[in-house]
Structure 1
């Protein structure tokens, strides 16, 4: 197993989530500062818009229109000219925060949710993945998932993989041309590791953040782990990207607070610079009480990684 190390990229965020590489920049949701940012490889950034009810997962329609999951008002929004435009309303359909998602070639979004009131301490409950069409129509795509979290589409759009966090596994589905999910199977049993955000590379492997161990690991179908980035704390999310997406000069980023922000308290963290693409970003949380000052950093991780996977992942 290859081990990788990290160095700093950019700074002064609160808590980052939902990383996606698009248009030569890294898009991230700053959950507790209620903002979406674009970050360049030199660490400079541009504010895209504000999302009052906690931005989470990010994605893009085939025409490049950005999408954001708004956790606390249970909605998916398009971002048009810097403004939020409602795309889908999950109220009455979900019992927990709207979270991460993946977008297929036709622009259909496959959206997960917590399944229960996580912040309120409700007992865990299995939930659905919902499919949202280009016109905003919502349908159940799959049921009975244990906290469906990060998702990625691979195999040229023929497979969807979702992280079932509380089941400690990556679950695969066949994805048909009309957006149906079938042939549910275990892509990888991760044992004691609880996967959070994920992304796919061009070789069909999945990079996953491990919520309970602080690791970021590259997993092949069947469960073999080939690469590892280790941190203390909790693993949150990851993405692949860069200007070229070519292997051999890869960098990855880990964004992590050294303490968990409580409620919507607006804290500042440090953050962090990559030297060359492709960019693989991973986000990390450390446990509460670790440090008095709450810090967040983005860390590019060196290594000869495979290039990013399919465009819609």
Structure 2
């Protein structure tokens, strides 16, 4: 079902926003090419939460409340040591020896287990689609490969309650036309890999251009929806869709521009946020200020 709800601009004139998270009555988001992590309040006040030399991407929090930030290019996960000092960052984990290409998005559970996706290859329209790994970082900063042979793994979510012995970890494969699931235990181990939602047949890996031309959905950032559903930012079709296990699309919000990540938030949990830009191309976006955070009611 397509919904024509009004889309509003919360914040504009940003470089490229990614990995939104709702926490503490604020929307947290990375601005890759401005090298900043921001939080945005209900009245659209913008606070700079962290500044760094590298590109920030995935965000999460340790059990003690410290902010974790993916440092995309140098292959590290940083931790903010002082909430009052945006530059007070130290290294939580160096995963550069495990990474396949740049680091990407991240999900952190309530115990501090972090899962970081990786590109797998240099993202260009003519690039061959090479497989990538998902990296697990334990609360103590030790790291290992949690899963491999993923096609541009991107956003991820955890389905289930915090006390469950086994939950479901779901990750978007942007070049795979699908969401992939694993069983997740309390130690951060993944098992029982399976397709959670397929949007069509396998797509060619001959190039990014060929894969995108054949795909029905390019699942990018994702977030939890109600009743064990998942909101998926569809990087191909300027929309965010709500998907049930198996791939049925239950709901759709169109944003009228490219949308590459999403989050559910608002003080009542009834707002769908989209990180929007004319494109996701780094060479097109790096020197611009055309990205925005958009919102619509759900």
Q: TM-score range by the shorter chain?
A: 0.7 to 0.9
Give matches, 1:1-313, under 5 Å: 1-5=1-5, 6-81=7-82, 82=86, 83-118=88-123, 122-157=127-162, 158-191=167-200, 192-245=216-269, 250-258=270-278, 262=283, 265-268=286-289, 295-303=290-298
Secondary structure at the aligned position of 2:283 is classed as coil
Residues 179/299 of structure 1: CA separation in 2 closer, same or farther (3 Å cut): same
1:19-50 Cα distance to aligned partner (Å, 9 max, x none) = 01111111111111111111001111111121
Residues 159/121 of structure 1: CA separation in 2 closer, same or farther (3 Å cut): same
Residues 34/2 of structure 1: CA separation in 2 closer, same or farther (3 Å cut): same
Deviation of 1:150 after TM superposition, in Å, equals 0.3
Q: Distance in 2 between matches of 1:143 and 1:206?
A: 22
Q: Distance in 1 between matches of 2:277 and 2:132?
A: 29
Deviation of 1:257 after TM superposition, in Å, equals 2.3
Residues 120/4 of structure 1: CA separation in 2 closer, same or farther (3 Å cut): closer
* Counterpart contact for 1:213–1:232, Cα < 8 Å: no
Q: Distance in 2 between matches of 1:153 and 1:170?
A: 12
Deviation of 1:151 after TM superposition, in Å, equals 0.5
Secondary structure at the aligned position of 2:263 is classed as strand
Match of 1:275 in 2: none
Deviation of 1:181 after TM superposition, in Å, equals 0.6
Q: Distance in 1 between matches of 2:25 and 2:259?
A: 25
Deviation of 1:116 after TM superposition, in Å, equals 1.6
Deviation of 1:261 after TM superposition, in Å, equals 5.8
Q: Distance in 2 between matches of 1:8 and 1:231?
A: 10
Deviation of 1:123 after TM superposition, in Å, equals 2.5
1:188-226 Cα distance to aligned partner (Å, 9 max, x none) = 112211100001124110000011122210001111111
Residues 180/255 of structure 1: CA separation in 2 closer, same or farther (3 Å cut): closer
1:105-125 Cα distance to aligned partner (Å, 9 max, x none) = 221101110012225965221
Q: Which runs of 5+ in 1 are unaligned?
A: 269-294, 304-313
**Count of aligned pairs between the two proteins:** 273
What is the TM-score of this pair, normalised by structure 1? 0.82
What is the TM-score of this pair, normalised by structure 2? 0.86
The 10-residue stretch of structure 1 (97-106 or 255-264) with the greater mean CA deviation from structure 2: 255-264
Residues 222/241 of structure 1: CA separation in 2 closer, same or farther (3 Å cut): same
* Counterpart contact for 2:57–2:69, Cα < 8 Å: yes
* Counterpart contact for 2:22–2:28, Cα < 8 Å: yes
Secondary structure at the aligned position of 2:8 is classed as coil
